[in-house]
């Protein structure tokens, strides 16, 4: 007849250590258990439209694209203006955690 201790160790379900002293027999059982949780994150971003500010920063730059005489009745210009844009944004996230379960038959040895 196989003892329950031998059967559990043989099937790799538990590891155990036994000590014997004057007070009797003490057994310590070790087993890896995986705990699983489901995490849901819901992010939000809010722009405060009433507080968006745009202003010119520096001078306006104008340059001609071509310096040659155009055979067409057109002139190409490059216009550049630097802007300072301030957009206040509020970032938040709400997290919800739910315990999903436990995996008892982990294959990893317990150290």
pLDDT at 11 > cutoff 60: no
The CA–CA distances, whole Å, from 6 to 2, 12, 15, 73, 80 equal 6, 10, 10, 98, 82
Q: What is the pLDDT of residue 73?
A: 77
User: Among residues 101, 109, 111, 90, which one has the least CA distance to residue 34?
Assistant: 101
How high is the pLDDT of residue 53? 94
What pLDDT score was predicted for residue 111?
Answer: 66
Query: What is the distance of C-alpha 9 from the center of its chain?
Result: 39
CB 97 within 8 A of CB 39: yes
Encode pLDDT of 93-109 as tens digits.
Answer: 999 999 888 887 766 66
What pLDDT score does 26 carry? Answer: 83
- pTM value? 0.43
pLDDT tens-place string over residues 19-53: 778 888 888 888 888 889 999 999 999 998 888 99
Given this model, what pLDDT does residue 32 score?
82
DSSP-derived letter for residue 16 is E
């Amino acid at each position: 007849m196989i003892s329950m201790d031998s059967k559990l160790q043989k099937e790799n379900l538990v590891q155990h250590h036994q000590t014997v002293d004057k007070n009797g027999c003490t057994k310590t059982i070790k087993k890896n258990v995986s705990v699983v949780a489901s995490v849901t994150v819901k992010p939000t971003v809010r722009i405060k439209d009433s507080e968006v500010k745009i202003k010119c920063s520096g001078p306006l730059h104008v340059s001609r694209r071509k310096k040659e005489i155009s055979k067409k009745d057109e002139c190409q210009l490059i216009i550049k203006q630097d802007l300072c844009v301030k957009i206040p944004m509020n970032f938040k996230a709400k997290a919800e955690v739910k315990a999903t379960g436990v995996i008892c038959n982990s294959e990893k040895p317990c150290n």
